[in-house]
Structure 1
Amino acid sequence: MPLTPNPAVTPHPVEFTGSGSEYFRVWIVNVLLGIVTLGLYIPWARRRTAQYFYGHTQVVGSPLEFVAEQRRMVFGFLAFAALYLAYELAYKLATQTGQDLAASLLFFGFAALTPFLWGSAMRFRLGATRWRGIRLAFTANWKEIYLASWSVFAIAAVWAGAFIAIDALLPTPARTAITKGSFAGAGPAIAVLLLALVLTLLCVIRLEFNYRRLLVARARIGGLAGRFKPVYGDFVKVWLASVGIFMLTLLAVGGVLAALAYGSGHLASEHLRGSGVAEMILLGLLVFGITLGVMVLVSLPAHAYREARMFQLVWNNVGFDRIARTHSRLRTGAYVMLRVKNLLLSFLTLGFYRPFAVTSEYAAKVGSVTIYLEGDAEQLVGELVRQQGAFGDAAADALGLDLIG
């Protein structure tokens, strides 16, 4: 009996057909209406933005669709805003009245709410996405979501323990000295703080890994299930490299600023002797602006590197069953330089270059992805439509309360 040949694997590059000039018209309307409505237009702005980028993303020859209901996005926005304001008010009231236990309980309460918010957001995002009429869905149950979120509770426990330890290790004289700029006697407390920061970083890495793995593994398109190959160690390597880049950038920028400050310090002191209040205020604003700009500049290369490497790591190691797999050709160095260029141009144009920056960064990432399909694309689409059947309707009805649109 002759063997059936394996179906041919065909590449399908993903394309972004939008442009910065087109998106600028969407963006400027969103900004103006957001200002006029004091931010209440945000849900409509998010929907218009999503529809633009989805509609200009070609996947195997067809665009994606964003079909979220506007009323659900408005309700989600208002509910989340009310929840955030209530938490902030309660936390400030607890800390100002010295109710440390209440503040800690609020912290743990926020940690308990985080998995629900993330799960609702992912269900909403995938449930609102269509491709050739085929629904996407996120099918993880709440037990799986909360088990994947264990590091959120670990972070809350780490900082609750750190605050208790610092309070015990920091005597009153040392606290008084800190307010005066002296850290004598604060060594043990600083060590606890650094340990808490390291543990928090490891927990954040674990949380990102768990969430990305769960999102892919429980994603469905028609009857196809996602598969995820990366391991936790891969994420740790990317994060450690990002931290290293941040430290090197910090040292380089700090050295340049120290040299400039040393050279201009004498000139500044001579100029300020006869300055008035207005000049002092302007100088303070200038220093604040420079400090903020330096902070962004220092963190940007590391952030862009992590974003590019994570994109490569995920899109080179995911697929749907054995029928589809993806590959990314995104170049890390080129993407970092693109982000730096976009930041500088956005700064020089007072933010008006932002829509061009967003589209160029999105195009760089999306345009680097190629989908490899086993067999004919049209036959696959027909099969997915048949598989979808009642499953798509049942999944859409079982999504529950989606707070984030």
Structure 2
Amino acid sequence: MPRSTPPGADRMYASFASQDIEPHPLRFTGGGAEFLRVWLVNVLLTIVTLGFYTPWARRRTAQYFFGHTLVAGSPLEFTAQQKRMVVGFLVVVLLTLAYKLAASTGQDVAVGLFILAGAVLAPLIWSSAMRFRLGNTRWRGLRLQFTASWPEVYRASWPVFALALVWLAVFFGLQALAPTPLEGAAAGRKLPQVSAPMVALVVLGLVLTVLCLIRIDFNYRSLLVLRASLGTELGRWKPVYMDFVWLWLATVGVFLASILVLSLLLAGLVGGSFAMVKALGQGQPGVGMVLFLIAAFVALLFLLFLATAPARAYREAALFRLTWNNIGVSRIARFKCDLRVGRYVLLRLRNMLLTLVTLGLFRPFAVVSEYRMKLESVTLHIKGGVDQVAGTLARQQTGGIGDALADAAGLELIV
């Protein structure tokens, strides 16, 4: 397990604070209208090719955003080989087709093996994707790397296996706690009974599931930062697990508040709509009620989706701020983030509304505006001059065989 705070971190931070610091706010030079052209080409070619243009679309999108992201005045570069992205995409497609074929033909053993293999290989797939993404990111010719070993990745993945044990325990516990079923009076069927201990066991399983999911999120993010390197300098990570737990609790609070507000609005709308439908349907009994039920069902689905939007935007913004306020690069750089979570939530809601009104055509503008707000809330603080630090890192950077081995270590397996 990665340590949440590296040894000697307090001395390191004190040393960092005592040096001359240069602040460099991050900047995004792209625009919605410009990205619209990239987005339209990607969408049209993906549809025409039945999805096989996806790796090319992902590469063009990454190159656009990287190339317009300025870090200390210099743009990022995305240098991934198209061939490796295509290979990763084809691997995922073929595995997905094989699984669906096994499931549709009733090959239960094959389906079970696919699920078991997916669970065992999930940490390896995640690590491969991180090696690929960081290994193909450059700044001023400097290459990022993900240096975690496979044992480190699997140690960080322990909540995945703990989750499987939790639900095995719940399954066998329910069987042990189940009372003797009663005979149904009418049909003679056995009706299952649910006892209070069974409900408590399921609730406990759900709580432990959430805690495991939070833990895997924390473990992977911390490992990604602590084992990311620029030259020979590794990342710094300060958050602890309970920071993530409190963030999730706050997210649940935002979701419940959204449900309450939307429920009040829905109650008012239903009352007015029912009165209107009743008046319209007086001449044709039943027609108004059918129309009302259809409209109510569609509105309910939309409102359920809308109810989760503030919570999802809140979690994304709060997690972004927590992360970028507490990471750095060894003793040479740190980040500060002043993202206002409330403003980001309002921006997300506005973008959702405009995307719906324009039937999806506002989507590229929404992506750019949200990316810009997050990126430009971050300031990079560098100890010493940028040119001096970049020169030092360039001298530390390995090349030739080392770069070739890093290239071979990962594929873009997440599509």
TM range (shorter): 0.7 to 0.9
Cα drift, residue 119 of structure 1: 0.6
Structure 2: distance between partners of 1:175 and 1:229: 59
What is the match of residue 45 of structure 1?
Answer: 57
2:226 corresponds in structure 1 to: 217
Matched, 1:399 2:409: yes
Greater Cα offset, 284-293 or 139-148: 284-293
* Aligned positions of 1:71-90 closer than 5 A: 71-90=83-102
Change (3 A) 1:91 1:152: farther
Flag the 1:156–1:339 CA change in 2: closer, same or farther, 3 A.
same
Tell me how far apart the structure 2 counterparts of residues 301 and 365 of structure 1 sit (CA, whole Å).
16
Give 1:258 deviation, angstroms: 3.5
Change (3 A) 1:105 1:70: closer
Contact 2:148-2:223 at 8 Å conserved across structures: yes
- 5 Å-filtered alignment, 1:38-117, equals 38-90=50-102, 107-117=115-125
Letter of the structure 1 residue corresponding to residue 331 of structure 2:
R
2:39 is matched with: 27
Q: CA deviation at 1:69?
A: 0.7
CA distance in 1, matches of 2:100, 2:199: 27
**How far apart are 1:28 and its partner, in Å?**
0.8
Amino acid across the alignment from 2:228: A
Determine which of 48, 53, 60 is the counterpart of 1:36: 48
Q: How does 1:121-140 map to 2 (within 5 A)?
A: 121-140=129-148
2:44 aligned partner, one-letter code? L
Aligned residue number for residue 3 of structure 2: none
- Residues 377, 73 of structure 1: alpha-carbon distance in 2 compared, 3 angstrom cutoff: same
Structure 1 residues 123 and 170, CA gap change in structure 2 (3 angstroms): farther
State how far apart, in whole Å, the 2-side matches of 1:17 and 1:396 are.
30
Q: Which amino acid letter does the alignment assign opposite residue 220 of structure 2?
A: Y
Q: Which amino acid in the other structure matches residue 36 of structure 1?
A: V
| Cα distance in 2 between the residues matched to 1:132 and 1:21 | 27
- Helix, strand or coil at the partner of 1:251: helix
Q: For residues 57-114 of structure 1, give each alpha carbon's deviation from its aligned partner in whole angstroms, at most 9, with x where no partner exists.
A: 00111100011111111111111122233334545666xx8x6x98766544332122
CA offset digits 1:106-132 (Å, max 9, x no partner):
544332122112111111110111111
1:307-351 CA deviation, whole Å, 9 max, x = no partner?
Answer: 111111111111111110000010111111111111111111111
TM-score, normalised by the number of residues in structure 2: 0.84
Provide the aligned C-alpha RMSD in A: 3.1
Cα distance in 2 for residues equivalent to 1:295 and 1:240: 20
Using the aligned pairs only, state the percent identity.
52
Shift of the alpha carbon at 1:195? 2.5
Q: Which residue of the partner structure matches residue 18 of structure 1?
A: 30
Question: In 2, are the aligned partners of 1:115 and 1:145 still within 8 Å (CA)?
Answer: yes
The residue aligned with 2:341 is 332
CA deviation map 1:176-218 (0-9, x unaligned) = 99xxxx9974755544433222211111110111001000000
Q: Which residue of 2 aligns with 1:162?
A: 170
Aligned to 1:3: none
1:293 to 277, 302, 305: 302
Contact 1:124 1:404 in 2 (8 A): no
Match of 2:124, as an amino acid?
A: F
Aligned 8 A contact 1:216 1:227 in 2? yes
Cα deviation, residue 288, structure 1 = 4.9
Q: Could you tell me which amino acid in structure 1 is paired with residue 359 of structure 2?
A: L
Match of 2:151 in 1: 143
Q: How far is the alpha carbon of 1:260 from its aligned partner?
A: 3.1
Aligned counterparts of 1:360 and 1:175: Cα–Cα separation in 2: 60
Shift of 1:265: 3.9
Rounded to whole Å, the distance in 1 between the matches of 2:258 and 2:202 is: 23
Structure 1 unaligned segments of length 5 or more: list them.
1-5
- Give the residue type in structure 1 aligned to 2:24: H
Q: Distance in 1 between matches of 2:363 and 2:278?
A: 37
Change (3 A) 1:400 1:56: closer
Write the letter of the residue equivalent to 1:128: N
Partner of 1:196: 205
Distance 2:122 2:20 in 1: 44
Letter of the 2:328 counterpart: G
Shift of 1:283: 7.0
Give 2:379's aligned residue.
370
Question: Alignment length, in residue pairs?
Answer: 389
Check conservation: 1:91, 1:106, Cα contact below 8 A: no
Cα distance change on mapping 1:400 and 1:335 into 2, 3 Å: closer
The runs of 5 or more residues in structure 2 that have no matched partner are 1-17
Q: CA 1:107–1:404 in structure 2 vs 1: closer, same or farther (change >3 Å)?
A: closer
